[in-house]
Amino acid sequence: MNSLLQASAESSPRSALAALLAGVVIVLIAACSGASALATPVATTHVDLPRSYRFAPEDISIQVGNTVTWTNNDSFTHSVKFDGSDEVQMMKPGESVSRDFPTAGLYSYICTLHPNDMHGTVLVKPVADGETKLN
């Protein structure tokens, strides 16, 4: 970035602006490629709520017919609420909740008490010939 600024100071105003904009674009691309990148779902039917206001793993994949269990290992009450559903499953510390997934699709969920920090997805895939379910 320093070399871009130095080159822009020694060049015409138009090339200086182009060099500066190129540097800004590089910085923006680097910043955007980190946290906003989608994670690969983990094949599991168990989601932990550790002491950190998060679902671990956040994004999971299962097969149709599986049941997912969330276990609250935090010191605070949390919940699981799926997009498009009014049902909120509350979990005090040490409690678990489960949900069956009879239909393929992508299901997004949040903790209604901590929606900015706690969110996740369940990718439900059809069972392929020869595969066994995770449960």
Instruction: List Cβ neighbours of 85 (8 Å cut-off, separation of 6 or more).
Output: none
3-state secondary structure of 125: strand
Q: What is the pTM of this model?
A: 0.69
**Residue 50: cis peptide before it, omega within 30 degrees of 0:** no
- List of domains in the chain: 2-32 (no CATH), 42-125 (2.60.40.420)
39 in Cβ contact with 55 (< 8 Å): no
How high does pLDDT run on average in the chain?
A: 80
Distance CA 49, CA 46 (A): 10
Q: Which amino acid is at 99?
A: R
Give the pLDDT of residue 2: 45
What is the per-residue pLDDT across 66-109, written as a single tens digit (0 to 9) for each?
A: 999 999 999 999 999 999 999 999 999 999 999 999 999 999 99
111 pLDDT more than 70: yes
What is the per-residue pLDDT across 48-71, written as a single tens digit (0 to 9) for each?
A: 999 999 999 999 999 999 999 999
Give the pLDDT of residue 21: 38
Give the pLDDT of residue 129: 67
